[in-house]
Amino acid sequence: MLKVSRTTTAIQCPGGEIPAEVLSAAEPVILKGLVSHWPLVQLGQQSSAAVADYLCSHYNGKTTQVFYGAPTLNGRYFYDESCRAFNYETRLGQVDQVLQQILQWQELEQPPSVYIASNLLSSHFPSLRQHNDIQLPKPAVNYETEPDRVSIWLGNKSLSACHYDSSENLACCVLGKRRFTLFPPEHISHLYPGPLEPTPGGQVISMVDFDKPDLERFPDFPKAIAAGQIAELEPGDALYLPSMWWHQVEGLSCFNILINYWWSTAPRYTGSGMNLLYHALLCLRDKPEHERKAWQAVLNHYIFDDPKKAGQHLPEQARGVLGELDEMQARQLRAMLLNRLNR
């Protein structure tokens, strides 16, 4: 069986203070004990029921999306055989009712799977952060960034297939144990991404079953395993995960809760990198090979190599969008793109 042998670097980090250098290193780091002072974490040392009661006391009663799967799912939320639909149902439900289901099913050897994924605290638990929060040591910038998103993930045993997120991520383990299997962004081809749409959680996922990899179908998967690392979290621990790192996430206990913070330090006006991917699929992928290689050189010059060099030889007043991009220029670029795409 293929197994990742490397473990993620861990540092002791009690008391809720994140060293600033951690978030600038662009490498995953486990922050041991970072949120051990949270009431949610401390109540978990008493009982799962105490945690559920505490969450219900902060819940505003709004419905949310809930994933349900048969007992045979074993918590692996994935595609069905067609890869056009999923192996679970999505229903609207009440968080307090889901919590009661999880508590009732804890004693079952193979319970149904139930999961609430990426539920914004501001939408359903607006007061929870008052005593369960962390300050991110983000650099000061003179432009607007995307708003931070703080979400809760709760359910019984679960496995979220390997995927990446475009935002920086701090994942805080509140209840139960979590295992993250991590891969650097450059190993995307060794992880065999699935369809761009539909996707189980909005992000492209790896099609490889890590427990039973089909090496005839996915022959380069061992290359990803060789570069991977494992991060195992106890309640109170957190994981810093840089943007674009691939990660499979397992909730290992019969009741698991995770709260995560997503943020970006990029200007909000830059938009999503997925727009570039979709545009390239439309404009470049099906060109002749020599044209694709030529455009690869063009993109390397303007985007992926040192982008400042592309306009350094020009007078500053002549650089236009090759100079430092501001919000006004970004709006002009967006308008130009929309105009060209609509022709």
Round to whole Å and give the CA distance between 184 and 244.
Answer: 8
Q: Residue 80: inside a domain, yes or no?
A: yes
227 CB-contact burial (10 Å; exposed 0-12 / middle 13-18 / buried 19+): middle
> What confidence tens digit (pLDDT) does each residue in 289-325 have?
999 999 999 999 999 998 889 999 999 999 988 988 8
Round to whole Å and give the CA distance between 167 and 30.
Answer: 18
Close Cβ partners of 125 (under 8 Å, ≥ 6 residues apart): 55, 58, 59, 60, 119, 152
Q: Report the mean per-residue pLDDT for the chain.
A: 95
CATH of the domain at 240: 2.60.120.10
Kindly state whether residues 101 and 236 are assigned to the same domain: yes
Kindly state whether residues 296 and 191 are assigned to the same domain: no
Buried b (16+ CB within 10 A) or exposed e, 133-171: ebeeebeeeeeeebeebbbbbbbbbbbbbbbbbebbbbb
Round to whole Å and give the CA distance between 248 and 8.
Answer: 14
pLDDT of residue 308: 86
pLDDT of residue 1: 64
pLDDT of residue 226: 98
Domain end call among 237, 266, 295:
266
pLDDT of residue 93: 98
Residue reference for tokens 């979400």: 151
Q: Residue 4: inside a domain, yes or no?
A: no
Q: Which residues form the domain of 23?
A: 10-266
Domain end call among 244, 266, 288:
266
Kindly state whether residues 130 and 98 are assigned to the same domain: yes
Kindly state whether residues 53 and 127 are assigned to the same domain: yes
Kindly state whether residues 197 and 327 are assigned to the same domain: no
Kindly state whether residues 153 and 278 are assigned to the same domain: no
Q: How many domains does the chain have?
A: 2
* pLDDT lower than 50: segments of the chain: none
> What confidence tens digit (pLDDT) does each residue in 4-13 have?
999 999 999 9
pLDDT of residue 55: 98
Kindly state whether residues 62 and 200 are assigned to the same domain: yes
CA angle 78, 81, 86 (to 5 degrees): 35
